Structures are given as structure tokens and as C-alpha cells.
Amino acid sequence: MLAIIQSTTRRLRLVSSGNYQYLFFAAIVTALFMLAPLQSVQAQCPCASATFQVGTGITPTPVPNMAAAIAIYGAGFSTLTSACVKINGQFTVESGTWSLTSTNVVFDNASSSLFVLGGASLIASAGSTFTPCSTSFMGIYGQTGSTINMNQCTVQGASNAGVSVLANATFSITGNTFDNCNKGLSVGGLQNTANHTVSGNTFKFCTNGIYLGAAVNVNIGSNSYTNFGGQA
């Protein structure tokens, strides 16, 4: 197998759009391009028989947010371990914390998404996955003032960005794998360098690993960038 290792910013695919500034960018860049087939995108738990089914697309009664899900599944829905969750349409963490440990979240179709509103938190760890039932899903969105902590998770097949965060969010994105996403991580708006950590992640088969859209005060640590140019 022929491997070509590039360490130039020309190959990084980390983009900052517009005439904006960010405080500093201290990345140890390794972009590895290999002549290898694209990896397939597969759901990590059965979409048809997921234990928990939520979202605006659920019929006959939608389950649009945490309050609705807890009303159906009980308070334990807010803290899941080794569970299988299907999101059909948009599902919103509107308040409190949704904690996922070794949990597989599958997205029913290309318009399905997960939103975290200001004041609410998403905490995912220990091998939790976010994958589509078919070919893609929209992504995970952290709104202004939200908190997203993801460690040792896999996000695969996001047509927008695996994780998108807006201004003044608090986020820790460490040790994750972003695979076959349009953008792995997208950061926008004015951020506080003390409120986020981005390091130890692997971005592969993505168009852009980390996309800084009009972002200010963003600190990016060391991450791995592999096999760019292959989208799901």
C-alpha cells in the first residue's frame, strides 16, 4: 500500500471562512492519504427494533424532546448505558443533561438530527456511536450556551457536520473518531478559549476535518487527519 504523508496546512482541510480571527491554532498536523477503499457507513444497533425511539418523525405521536421521552420511558432515559436509541426527525435536549455511556444512537433518515439547546448538555462517552440507519443524517448541533462533552465516541455519516457548535458554547471533543462526514467538527461565532477542548480526535474520509466558520478564539490541539476526499 502506497502511503503519502503530508504535514502541510494545504492538506489539513481545516478551514476558517471570511475575514475573521481566532486566538491561536496549535495543531500538530498529520494528514495521511492512503490508497484504500472507503469504509462503509453502518448503523450500530437495529434501527427497526431500537429500544428507545424518539424524534419529531415518530408516529402516531412524536417524541420531540427530553421531556416527552422521559414521560414515555421514565427518568432513566436521561442516563443511558449500553442502550440503543433511534432518532427519527429532530430530537432536542431542551434542558438538563442527556448522558450516554456505551450507547448507540442511530438516525432514521437523512433529515434526522440531534439538537442541544442553551443551558442543556449532551455527555457521551465510552464507545457511544452516532450513525445513520441508511446513508446519512444531518448531525449533532450545540446551540449558543449549550454544553457538549464527547469522549471516545464515533460519529459517522453526517451530511452537514458530525458536531456543530455555535457561539459561547462549552464543548470538550476528545479522543473521538469522525468518519465519512462532510465536516467532522464545525465551530462558529465567538468562543471562550477556557470553555473548550478539541484534541486527540481522528478525522477520516471527511471533506473537512475541522471547519471554523466565522469562529473567533478557538484553540485546537493535536488531532489526526486521514484519507480526505471520500464522503459517504
Which residues have C-beta within 8 Å of that of residue 174, sequence separation ≥ 6? 150, 151, 152, 197, 198, 199, 200, 201
pLDDT tens per residue across all 232 residues of the chain: 333 333 333 333 444 444 333 333 333 333 333 333 334 555 679 999 999 999 999 999 999 999 999 999 999 999 999 999 999 999 999 999 999 999 999 999 999 999 999 999 999 999 999 999 999 999 999 999 999 999 999 999 999 999 999 999 999 999 999 999 999 999 999 999 999 999 999 999 999 999 998 899 999 999 999 986 533 2
pLDDT of residue 38: 39
pLDDT of residue 12: 36
pLDDT of residue 213: 84
Give the per-residue SS3 of 86-147.
EECCEEEECCCEEEEECCEEEECCCCCEEEECCCCEEEEECCCEEEECCCCEEEEEECCCCE
- What is the C-alpha separation between 224 and 28, in angstroms, rounded? 8
- Residue showing cell 424518539: 54
pLDDT of residue 105: 98
DSSP, residue by residue, 10-42: GGT--EEESS---S-------EEEE--PPPPP-
pLDDT 10s digits, 192-207: 999 999 999 999 999 9
- What is the maximal distance between C-alpha atoms in the chain? 54
pLDDT of residue 229: 54
